[in-house]
Structure 1
Amino acid sequence: MTIKINSVLSVLKDSNLTKEAKKNKIIPIIDPLFDFTLMSRLSLGAKWKELDKGQKDRFTELFTKKLKESYTDKLYLYTDQKVDILGVDQPKNNRIVLKTQLIGKDDKYDIGYKFYETKDSSWLIYDVDLLGVSIIQTYRQQFAGFLKDKSFDDLLTNLSTTK
């Protein structure tokens, strides 16, 4: 993981690259670490079971795009901070939380990457805690609130038209 973090930081520090070029270099580095399908399912909660395969696939596509854009947008705020790996917690046998800290000039931000062990014994991220707040829980609450008044198709439209 340290190698991946350092690779991303190296791209971010490269002042010769445009934002788009940085994004195009960073996404392939981080993509294999995330289980976007599981993140999509968790963000919808019980609603996921009501969807057909086409709806699940479309939602996963749009939600993955949103997550990647959100993540890379946050990376652009990087201004020579340092990332420290603080350690690993193992709440369950097949779950770990990689605890990191982004250290800036004036502030420190705790970031926890939640991993699960796949059937082939690799580890994938299924959630990220920023300052103690789960991004998946945050999206789940937003989507549940949205779906109280609107349809799932409205949610897909909203995801496809908002950044």
Structure 2
Amino acid sequence: MMNRRSLGHLALCAAAVASLGLPLAALAADEAPDAMIKRLSTDVLNTVKSDKAIQGGDLTKVIALVDKTVMPNVNFRRMTAAAVGPGWRQATPEQQKRLQDEFKILLVRTYAGALAQVNDQSIQVKPLRAAPEDKDVLVRTEIVGRGDPIQLDYRLEKTPGDGAGWKIYNLNVLGVWLVETYRGQFAQEINAKGIDGLIETLAARNKANSTAKG
């Protein structure tokens, strides 16, 4: 299970795509994935550092920022389905929607709490090992600042159609992949209590987090 430090730095992965919600979104379709990660990470980290409310721990404001700008640029259905595992195919459309909703709340609050702790970090993007025609790539980065560098890797896919561009579907913090981490936890819940039991567990966790941090 990921510790508090790992979860904290995980937020910076999500922050890297946050400014896709700005007018620069049109650039995303033609922009190389490593260049996109570098530009967006720098933009968002600078924004967080200059926002006194976020620095002061205004969780409501940070949640709104992450929810509005980050999540639309993640293939969240794919991420949730992968985290739930084989049980996803047995879930009804309503159960799938509930799972996405509760998983989203869980991750947004994780990202939000960590963004409030951003101070003097910056990002370094490692050389991209991918061919121009690749539709699925790994972008490797490090967050540098205080202490040892933090490994942050992104799995991105190229999406076709009107919303063409790169979307994140998995994140790696310090060698731990987000989807695989949650898949193990979710599998235990599903085996013990079924899909509805997993939904209830996530809802209860989110309610407890809201009470504790709200």
What amino acid sits opposite 2:49 in the alignment?
K
Aligned match of 1:144: 187
Q: State which of 86, 109, 122 in structure 2 corresponds to 1:46.
A: 86
Shifted more, 95-104 versus 2-11: the winner is: 2-11
The 1:59–1:22 alpha-carbon spacing in structure 2 relative to 1, beyond 3 Å, is: closer
> 2:171, 2:179 within 8 Å by CA — same for their partners in 1?
yes
Task: Report the secondary structure of 2:129's partner residue.
Answer: strand
Is the 1:97–1:115 contact (alpha carbons within 8 Å) kept by the matching residues of 2? yes
- 1:55 alignment counterpart: 95
1:138 to partner: Cα distance: 0.4
Give 4+ residue runs of structure 1 displaced > 4 Å after superposition.
Answer: none
Q: Is the 2:63–2:108 Cα contact (8 Å) retained in structure 1?
A: no
- My pick for the range that moved more, 3-12 or 15-24, is 15-24
- What residue number does 1:113 align with? 154
Aligned residues: percent identity? Answer: 23
- Partner amino acid for 1:8? V
2:39 pairs with 1:12? no
**Quick one: distance in 2 between partners of 1:122 and 1:108?**
29
Deviation at 1:161, TM superposition (A): 1.8
Displacement of 1:84? 1.4
- The answer as to whether partners of 1:11 and 1:25 remain within 8 angstroms in 2 is no
3-state SS in 1 of match to 2:119: coil
The amino acid of 2:125's aligned partner reads I
1:15 shift after superposition = 4.7
* CA drift at 1:73: 2.0
Structure 1 unpaired stretches of 5+: none
Q: Over the residues paired in the alignment, what is the CA RMSD in angstroms? A: 2.0
- Partners of 1:10 and 1:21 lie apart in 2 by 16
Work out the CA distance in 2 between the residues paired with 1:46 and 1:19. 34
- What letter corresponds to residue 12 of structure 1 in structure 2? V
Deviation at 1:90, TM superposition (A): 3.1
Instruction: Tell me the alpha carbon deviations over residues 135-158 of structure 1, each in whole angstroms, 9 at most, x when there is no partner.
Output: 000000110112221222121111
Going from structure 1 to structure 2, the CA distance change for 1:90 and 1:67 (only over 3 Å counts) comes to: farther
For residues 90 and 97 of structure 2, the distance between their equivalents in structure 1, rounded to whole angstroms, comes to 13
Name the structure where helix makes up a greater proportion of residues.
2
Mapping for residues 58-69 of structure 1, pairs under 5 Å: 58-69=98-109
